[in-house]
Amino acid sequence: MSGLNQSTLKQWFSSAHKKTDGYKNYQALQFGSAGHCLLLEPEMFPELYVRAPEGLHQRGKTGKKRWAEFAEQHPGKIVLRTGEWERLENIRKVFEIHPQIQKLWVNGVSEVSLFWQDSEFGLNCKARLDWFDPASGIIVDLKFTNNIGKACVQKPIQDYYAVQASWYMRAVTQLTAKVPDFFFVFIEKYAPHLIRVCSVSAADLKYGQQKTECAIKNISNNIS
């Protein structure tokens, strides 16, 4: 179903976004997607991902050929390097016993799609929440990071994160007339795989709301 989402909003103020190395960025996105699948939809993980054999890599002509041959033997699946697979398994173990995660995950549903017509701007909108508990009104979004120490302190919890939080809260508020609580769960990709649960401050939400409304107005002007 078509509709405005937070990814589209970000494109309206992303001109200053840093350019990143294409391959490294792809690897980070692939690891993040695999991590989301393993933690949020574990039953789907073996259907979508396969572990590369020990010693198989994509270096050199021979390595790339062997990798391609292995991938062809597993059509429809994404091949993960041995190190990536092991790191994901270790993350899963830490995630499952983390006390704050256990409290947040008592009730709720993963990968929740929401659709609504914005009451203020009259646009069809959508959002996909990593985790939502309708009873308690808690939204959780997972983020994988290289450095847990910087995850919660960058300004003002990161521009894009502020927009994402305000957008998801806007969705729930307009659909239920209740103001939810929002938490980012930052997970370190490397051992010891520290996990930090960060709430979103009023200042962050206000900033995200301002950026969101500015982007929506620009979009509305271009549509009309």
Contact present, 22 and 78 (Cβ < 8 Å): no
Residue 141: the pLDDT is 96
Which is more confident, 208 or 93?
93
Confidence grade of residue 157 (pLDDT, cut at 50, 70, 90):
low
What are residue 185's DSSP bridge partners?
142, 197
Nearest to 113 by CA among 102, 101, 128: 128
Secondary structure class of 82 (helix, strand, coil): helix
**Measured distance CA(198)–CA(153) in Å, rounded:** 10
Nearest to 216 by CA among 127, 123, 129: 123
Confidence grade of residue 8 (pLDDT, cut at 50, 70, 90):
confident
Domains of the chain: 6-223 (3.90.320.10)
